[in-house]
Structure 1
Amino acid sequence: MNIIRIALLSLLLPVAALAQPIKAVFHIDDPSQARFALYMAQDHLKLKPDMQITLVAYAAGVDFLLKGETDRDGDAYAPDVAALMKQGVQFRFCAATLRFRELEESQVLTGVTFVPSGTMEILRLQAEEGFVYIKP
């Protein structure tokens, strides 16, 4: 009887693991990736509304998080970023990039969180919080 229970439990464990929300970190270090990353986040949330998504930007990848920035078609990023924030998506901005590029925090969209290092934040989310890595 115990062997049957153990066998049944071993079959259920993977199902239990799937019941947890998926957590994904999107790595943005190039401004050409930003629009696609925003579309991906929107699509992922349509498929899995409880998914936890964090976009981490550093180097030139931070540009889409600056006030007034637009994509190559002239469409502003801010409305899409704000809409995703309302759905729980988090945006993290590398403070080292802020200093290196001599930017001011006031230039960054409201609601964006600053982290000491973008690359370290990506590593931390994967190692400590179980996020899966996505490079758009």
Structure 2
Amino acid sequence: MTSTPTPIRRKVLLASAAAGAAAFSSSARAAGRADADGPVKVVYHITQGDAQASRCLGNVRNHLSAEPTAKIVVVGNGAGIDFMLNGAVDGKGAEFAGLVGGLASQGVSFRVCNNTLTNRKIAKDRVLLDAAIVPSGVSEAANLQYREGYAYICP
């Protein structure tokens, strides 16, 4: 048998819920997960190759147009690193290096998974100069999301 809370009990429950939400919000902000005063932080995670990378880079361009102060990191692992290799071209034959370089000059950070390089036997000197090599792409994306409060987007 369920009882309907009395008006006083309802007020106590609502006040408790509001206090809990405020505490959670404060702890999230303290952990860097919700800094309303700072720039939006986003990690774009690429895992599926050049078609996904093309979509992602278009999204990043649009994102920066709408919000120039956004702090954006693009992390690639698996086939998602291919566009960050020297000589990589998109579906129209344009080299990715120019677009990556242009976005990097606007503050976008590009990160390549070393595990992928090792597993696929790709020399590190093939990675674009505008991209940094990180030990693990998956770990990098998770750390940015969890520890540094980045929103996660997988286009």
Q: Where does the alignment leave 5 or more consecutive residues of structure 2 unmatched?
A: 1-21, 27-33
Q: 2:144 aligns with which of 119, 125, 135?
A: 125
Overall identity of the aligned pairs, in %: 39
Deviation per residue, 1:8-37 (Å, 9 max, x gap): xx9xx9xx9433110000010011200111
Q: Where does the alignment leave 5 or more consecutive residues of structure 1 unmatched?
A: 1-9
Aligned-residue RMSD, C-alpha: 1.8
The TM-score normalised by the length of structure 2 is: 0.76
Q: 1:96 aligns with which of 115, 136, 144?
A: 115
The TM-score normalised by the length of structure 1 is: 0.86
- Write the distance in 2 (CA, Å) between the matches of 1:67 and 1:17: 36
SS in 2 for 1:78: helix
SS in 1 for 2:103: helix
Larger radius of gyration: 2
Residue of structure 2 equivalent to 1:22: 40
Change (3 A) 1:78 1:27: same
Runs of 4+ in 1 over 3 A off after TM superposition: none
One-letter identity of the residue aligned with 2:99: D
SS in 1 for 2:58: helix
- Write the distance in 2 (CA, Å) between the matches of 1:105 and 1:127: 28
Q: 1:81 aligns with which of 95, 100, 115?
A: 100
Aligned length: 124
Q: 1:57 aligns with which of 67, 71, 76?
A: 76
Deviation per residue, 1:52-97 (Å, 9 max, x gap): 0000000011100000110111111110000000000000000000
